[in-house]
Amino acid sequence: MKYVKIISILVTFNLLYGQTTEEIMKENKEKLTDIQHYVTQSCGTEPAFDNEYWDNKEQGIYVDIVSGKALFSSIHKYDSNSGWPSFYQPIDKEDLAFKQDYELILPRTEVKGKDSDSHLGHVFNDGPNPTGLRYCINSASLKFVSLADMEKEGYSQYLSLFN
C-alpha cells in the first residue's frame, strides 16, 4: 500500500510539475529493497518457496513494483508447485515485454514490465488451460493490492475483473 501511495503522489507531481515518467521510475528504483533491486534491475531470481506471494490466496491485483502498472490478477493465479507466483495470463499482454533469455542451457522467454523495463520473471508453455502458459513471476518484482484496497489505491478500473 505504502509503495502504491508513493507512486500516486509521484504521478500527481508529474502532472503538476512536468516530471518525466523516466524520472519518476528512476526515483522509484532508488526506493527498492535490495532483493527488489536485484530481481528487477539485475534480472535476478528470488528463492523458490521463500518469497512474499508464492502462496498468497487473497483476491486482488499484482502491480509492477517500479511503475505501479497493474499486470496480473489473482483470478488468473494458480499453484504451479514451482515456489513462485504463477499466472496463466496477464491482465493485458500489451503491458509486458518479452525477450529471449539464454542464461541457462535451454532458451527461455523473459517477461519484463513494458513501462518500467524491469525483469519480472519468465513465461513457459507448461501452464493450464485456457492459455497453456505459465507466467512464473518473482514476488520481489510485484506489489499486491488487495480487492478491498483497489479503489483506495487508485485501481478501481480493475474491480470489474472480480464480478
How many domains does the structure of the chain reveal? 1
Which residues are catalytic, by number? 136
What does the alpha-carbon distance between residue 53 and residue 120 come to, in Å, rounded to a whole number? 13
Give domain status of residue 25, yes or no: yes
Query: pLDDT, tens digit, for every residue of 90-140?
Result: 999 999 999 998 877 788 999 999 999 999 999 999 999 999 999 999 999
**What pLDDT sits at residue 23?**
72
Give domain status of residue 42, yes or no: yes
The confidence band for 20, taking pLDDT boundaries of 50, 70 and 90, is low
Cell numbers standing for residue 81: 508447485
Which range marks the domain in which residue 19 is found?
2-150
Give domain status of residue 156, yes or no: no
Give domain status of residue 161, yes or no: no
Is the pLDDT at 13 greater than 60? The verdict is no
Question: Would you say 129 and 118 are in contact if contact means Cβ atoms under 8 Å apart?
Answer: no
- Note the pTM of the prediction, 2 decimals: 0.83
**What pLDDT sits at residue 131?**
98
Give domain status of residue 91, yes or no: yes
Question: Which CATH number goes with the domain that contains 141?
Answer: 2.170.150.20
Give domain status of residue 162, yes or no: no
Give domain status of residue 57, yes or no: yes
Give domain status of residue 163, yes or no: no
**What pLDDT sits at residue 27?**
72
